[in-house]
Structure 1
Amino acid sequence: MPKLTETPAGAPSPFRSNEEAARYLRLSPRTLEKYRVSGEGPRFRKLGRRVVYSVVDLESWAAARACSSTATPAD
């Protein structure tokens, strides 16, 4: 597993790349890209040309999809 990007102070970054975020959510990177285009995915940030995801946003997005039945849509 690649080492997470560290901040200058040596603390782990609160942001994840598309690949890291996909691995965190157990999705394919391509699925996360499609969700980003359709607006279905977690909030993201554009830092220059880079797309990054906050761990807090990833957790919030996943929590919002909690279901108690397969008959109930997540939205």
Structure 2
Amino acid sequence: MNPRAKLTTEQAAIYLGVSPRTMERMRADNRGPEWFKVGDAINSPCLYELADLDMWVRARKRGR
């Protein structure tokens, strides 16, 4: 998959093995992977770049 590929919250949750609600909580707490919104409307989708998800996971690896 292209590292610049854009994933929805639901797709990103599946990729990371968490629930969409967990993704929403991490966004609200400013502790999850980088994300961006497309458009200014309140219901505009939040998207994640695959490369940002991978970077976020690598930053949390333990026991190397």
Same fold (TM over 0.5): yes
TM norm structure 2: 0.84
Misfit runs of 4+, over 6 Å: none
Q: Between Structure 1 and Structure 2, which shows a larger proportion of helix residues? A: 2
User: What is the TM-score of this pair, normalised by structure 1?
Assistant: 0.72
- Write the deviation string for residues 10-69 of structure 1: whole angstroms up to 9, x where unpaired: x8x710000000000000000010000001100001101110000000000001000118
Question: Which protein has the larger Cα radius of gyration, Structure 1 or Structure 2?
Answer: 1
Instruction: Give the root-mean-square deviation of aligned CA atoms.
Output: 1.8
Q: Unpaired runs of 5+ in structure 1? A: 1-10, 70-75
Higher relative contact order, chain-length normalized (CA < 8 Å, sep 6+): 2
Aligned residues with identical type, % of pairs? 36
| Count of aligned pairs | 58
